């Protein structure tokens, strides 16, 4: 596959306090023409863009660090997987 068309809408970081930050990452692109042929056989679609968007919040509470997934979305095909600290969090 060729490199995707590029980043849109991210990455972005918002820091509402000294102990919290929100990180957003959005990425999208289109498969190479030859890769798109088997994709169409598996899941026919008109829009060939593949994209995903992740919004996480990292924060500290009582001396411990935490990560919470606030949003995980993406195109209908192919499937998307979100890993945090080596643990599978979500599959779409």
CA atoms of 65 and 59, how far apart (whole Å): 6
> Tokens 């899941």 identify what position?
43
Q: How confident is the model at residue 1, as a pLDDT?
A: 32
For the segment 14-30, what is each residue's pLDDT rounded down to a tens digit? 788 888 999 888 888 88
Q: Is the pLDDT of residue 10 over 50?
A: yes
- Pick the residue with more confidence: 1 or 11? 11
- Pick the residue with more confidence: 2 or 59? 59
For the segment 36-85, what is each residue's pLDDT rounded down to a tens digit? 899 899 888 888 888 888 888 999 999 999 999 998 888 887 778 888 88
The model's pTM is 0.68
Cα dist from 80 to 2, 54, 76, whole Å: 19, 11, 9
């Amino acid at each position: 596959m060729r490199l995707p068309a590029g980043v849109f809408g991210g990455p972005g970081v918002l820091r509402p306090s000294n102990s919290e930050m929100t990180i957003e990452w959005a990425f999208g692109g289109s498969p190479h023409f030859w890769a798109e042929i088997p994709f169409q056989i598996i899941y026919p679609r008109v829009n060939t863009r593949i994209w995903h968007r992740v919004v996480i919040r990292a924060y500290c509470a009582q001396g411990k660090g935490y990560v919470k997934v606030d949003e995980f979305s993406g195109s209908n095909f192919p499937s998307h997987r979100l890993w945090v600290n080596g643990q599978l969090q979500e599959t779409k």
